Chain A
Amino acid sequence: MSGHSTYEPKTGFERWLDQRLPLIRFAQDTMVGFPTPKNLNYWWTFGGILAMMLVFQIVTGIILAMHYVAHVDYAFASVERIMRDVNYGWLIRYMHANGASMFFIAVYIHIFRNIYYGSFKAPREVLWLLGCVIYLLMMATAFMGYVLPWGQMSFHGAVVITNLLGALPVVGDAITTWLWGGFAVDNPTLNRFFSLHYLLPFMIAGVVALHIWALHVPGNNNPLGVNVKSKEDTVPFHPYYTVKDGFAMGVFLLLFAYFVFYNPNILGHADNYIPANPLVTPAHIVPEWYFLPFYAILRAVPNKLGGVLAMFGAIGCMFVLPWLDTSKVRSMRFRPTARLYFLIFVLACLVLGLCGAKLPDDPVIPGLTSFTLVDSDLNSYVWLSRIAALYYFAYFLVITPILGLTETPLPVPESISAPVLSHPATSPAGAVASPEKRG
């Protein structure tokens, strides 16, 4: 923990327990007294939101597992039975399905915030790496969860993604067969996916605990990216950030509730309400929206193995980011050039997502035929995804390392309290509050 413990046992029992298992001290130091920079903005609330979503997913998932039947002949009907005959089953299932999407919305904002404010830099590399591991586990969990309803997209998505491993030289076929538990995606595959889908969230929870531990050793980064210098720079986590995170969670829950109650199927795909049929391939196999950027990178490479390597490489780049970034300045508030490249990076990710949802050969500008380059018309989504994918990799491998050496950052403030604050205190510290005026 950063700083020494501020916990003082007050009762006899607390003193007794503190000498044996300092559980209350741990909770107090972690969630109550933890000194937190006082200038964290709303982008910092997504950590708490993610923790909340993980709890939602685990709780709703455990209830769903009580009613779900992991068998190719019954899975689809059992999911619909949950929607129709289980008390509030529609609520539990729609919360779980849309919760996955909300989880990814939050995690993407969390990751982008991290890159923008340079939170991954020393001394928080391990914190960042653990976050990357959580993200990987989330992707595996979400992918296997999407297979469980055993609709058309479930099945054919599973076929496409598991077949990717077959592209690996020599061991590819053996790995795919081992993963399937047979020679095609079938009942053994569904069973093991269900088993792993139940296991992985608890692994995520474990890594989240490490993630929070690794956060509490160096403490939070902050929008200025400067280190905490004195007690003046921080406030205790409770009540300052419990209430701010709580408010952000409320806003996030309103968005979540909109999807669950008023548009529960908009983020899914209609084809997944058709029971899986190995003999009928949907015209257009697309993954869930949160995988679309990686799907676009996969398809951007004309070679199957190359595509698979590019897709995994795109995630691999994230892992090594702390060692690719040469800039000593954390926050992009003081790196105007980096900020520009970062905004283009966000745009490239969104464009990749768009390309992943489109057919590669469809024209970006309808009606315009330009000229064929390599294998398709230049005016096509596959070429757009190639340009965006190129930028994606260039951002990590070229721009980030070079920019840190060449750019001239703006002057960085001495401390968090030093610069002119955006929200000065509305009454002098220590003044008597006038509750009738504010809040």
Chain B
Amino acid sequence: MLRKGFALAALGLALIAGPAAAATTHEEAKDVHWSFEGPFGKFDKAQLQRGYKVYREVCSACHAMNLMYFRNLGQPGGPFYDEKYPNPNDNPYVKSLAKDIQVSDIDSETGDAIKRPATSADRFPSPFPNEAAARASNGGALPPDLSVIAKAREAGPAYVYSLLSGFEEAPAGLAVPPGKHYNPYFPGDLSSFWTGKGPAPKGGFISMPPQLAPNKVTFDDGTPSTVQQQAKDVAAFLAWAAEPKMEQRKAFGFGAMIYLLILTGLLYVSYRRVWRNVAH
């Protein structure tokens, strides 16, 4: 009954489109240039490697990536792809990255729950055993799974980058509830928390505190570790994780386009030829 009531409420919301929904605002995501833009854009491998490090050392403390396996890191187009290892499971770099992470398993001899070093065939482990535990550790908020986050938000990686690098001091007149943080890029409705002059600021309250700080992650390639750089690199990594076959798709698409152009051209020429003697 509760679910039915909920369903009807959803319908009502859709039909009358509640004013609350209409008041949701956020700043437009920052304009970022990505190496993977455009029909020939590719992921920047070094950036993906840095981004993976940011995810592993910062984000993975709270955010799962349930669709990702360590082997994905070594597949074509991935951050640690090596032509010498067409089977990413054999990639020694991926193996050693996996080995550093402990995953849960069952001891096949005793049936006991154990921890063991991950292999390249393992899934990225979740930081929390279940949703309740995740909420309990995060003030009631659930850190979303990041596997396809770059596809699951309008503006995608630009949004992730803007959000992570966009935390700012709440303007005077904005009452920030305890455990919440003001972020102009996070969609929300701040009008009921606003006592300042003029319209309420754009943005919303997010439960995640600012996570990135200068030099929080040491980049092995010597790239200066600023907040902007960390945010951009992890956003690129998440864009790759959401769409790991993008490079393959664009390369295939280029061939398909050329093929179709030639085919269409030939068909047009044939069409003109076949119809040449017919008035129409």
Contacts and interface: CB of A to CB of B under 8 A. Distances in A.
Interface stretch (A50-58, A259-267, A399-407): A259-267
A240 B68 CA distance: 52
Given A159-B10, A247-B267, A425 B277 contact: yes
Interface string B24-56: 100000000000000100000000000000000
A253 B19 CA distance: 42
A261 B251 CA distance: 9
A438 B67 contact: no
Interface string A157-171: 001100110100000
A417 B15 CA distance: 54
B4 A183 contact: yes
B280 interface: yes
B193 interface: no
A402 B15 CA distance: 34
A77 interface: yes
Contacts of A316: none
Nearest to A428: B277
A203 to B, nearest CB: 28
B11 A163 contact: yes
Interface string B251-280: 011101100110110011111111111111
A262 B39 contact: yes
A91 B154 contact: no
B15 A247 contact: no
B8 A80 contact: no
A187 to B, nearest CB: 13
A425 B187 contact: no
A15 interface: no
Contact of B67 (A84, A166, A362): A84
B248 interface: yes
Interface in A170-224: 183-185
Interface stretch (B144-152, B168-176, B231-239): B144-152
A423 interface: yes
B19 A361 contact: yes
Given A257-B260, A438-B273, A423 B148 contact: no
B14 A285 contact: yes
Given A247-B268, A359-B17, A425 B152 contact: no
Given A90-B245, A421-B279, A429-B277, A160 B152 contact: no
A293 to B, nearest CB: 16
Given A90-B245, A359-B21, A438 B267 contact: no
A156 interface: yes
A74 to B, nearest CB: 12
B274 A239 contact: yes
A12 interface: no
Residue of B10, B147, B250 contacting most chain A CB atoms (<10 Å)? B10
Interface residues of A, number: 72
A162 B145 CA distance: 29
A237 to B, nearest CB: 12
A273 B245 contact: no
A429 B277 CA distance: 5
**Interface residue tally of chain B, by bracket?**
35 or more
A425 B268 contact: no
B24 A80 contact: no
Contacts of A270: 151-154, 156
Contact of A160 (B11, B248, B267): B11
B280 A38 contact: yes
Given A84-B67, A254-B260, A163 B276 contact: no
B151 A430 contact: no
Nearest to A423: B280
Interface string A81-115: 10110000011001000000000000000000000
A11 interface: no
A373 interface: no
A285 B13 contact: yes
B7 interface: yes
A27 interface: no
A261 B147 contact: no
A273 B273 CA distance: 48
Interface of B: 1, 3-4, 6-11, 13-17, 19, 21-22, 24, 39, 66-67, 72, 144-145, 147-148, 151-154, 156, 187, 242, 244-245, 248-250, 252-254, 256-257, 260-261, 263-264, 267-280
List the 6 closest A-B pairs by CB distance, nearest first: A261-B253, A250-B264, A273-B152, A439-B273, A439-B272, A247-B267
Interface of A: 38-39, 77, 80-81, 83-84, 90-91, 94, 156, 159-160, 163-164, 166, 183-185, 235, 239-240, 243-244, 246-247, 250-251, 253-254, 257-258, 260-262, 264-265, 270-271, 273-275, 278-279, 281, 283-285, 298-299, 304, 307, 359-362, 417, 421-431, 433, 435, 438-439
Given A254-B260, A299-B17, 20 more contacts: A84-B72, A91-B252, A159-B10, A163-B10, A183-B4, A184-B4, A243-B275, A246-B271, A247-B267, A250-B260, A257-B256, A261-B252, A270-B156, A279-B6, A359-B21, A421-B280, A433-B273, A433-B277, A438-B273, A439-B273
